[in-house]
Amino acid sequence: MAQHKVGIIIGSIASASINRQLAKALVKLAPAELAMTEIPIKDLPFYSYDMDANFPPAATAFKQAIADADALLFVTPEYNRSIPGVLKNAIDWGSRPYGKSAFARKPAGVVGASVGAIGTALGQAHLRGVLNYLDVPQLLQPEVYLQFKKGLFTEDGACTDAGTEEFLRKYMSAFADFVAAHKAG
């Protein structure tokens, strides 16, 4: 079975992030043809175009990891009805200098969890707008705006609710199909 390398970008650097828990669950539920690996963002300094000519090592490694991936899965919280600053900072590093974006034409999925009733709908809308500008084709359906409840995931990423597990499994299957179709041209 063909392997597609998927880079997971988690929009939170908190160790106990509910979106980190969601990411673990998605890895467990992913079809075998997806090889999922986190692309960490916590060591990236604040982006400044002053460093465009001489990227710091963390930014160079981040951008290379994006380039090496066949697709990306963004797992983002919603902060103040938008995306976290650390995620926007990472996107800025990966897309710079202008004209040399590692994101261009890289297929992606966008998901997220929140304790709020609308999940991360507004944060995802903002992220999708940024990704549209960067020429990132996105899986638009199904959508995952997950309302997180304590105990939904075990520490190792198992989902404790059968309905949620099936929903996330179907999402990952649709994402795998999207990645394969995009790679096939």
pLDDT of 1 reads 62
Enter the pTM of the model: 0.97
pLDDT in tens, 4-35: 999 999 999 998 999 999 999 999 999 999 99
Whether residue 63 contacts residue 101, with contact meaning beta carbons closer than 8 Å, is answered with no
pLDDT in tens, 40-82: 999 999 999 999 999 999 999 999 999 999 999 999 999 999 9
Could you give the count of Cα atoms lying within 13 Å of 171 in the half-sphere of its Cβ?
29
Class for domain 4-182, per CATH?
alpha beta
Task: Compute the CA torsion angle 143, 149, 155, 158 (nearest 10 deg).
Answer: -50
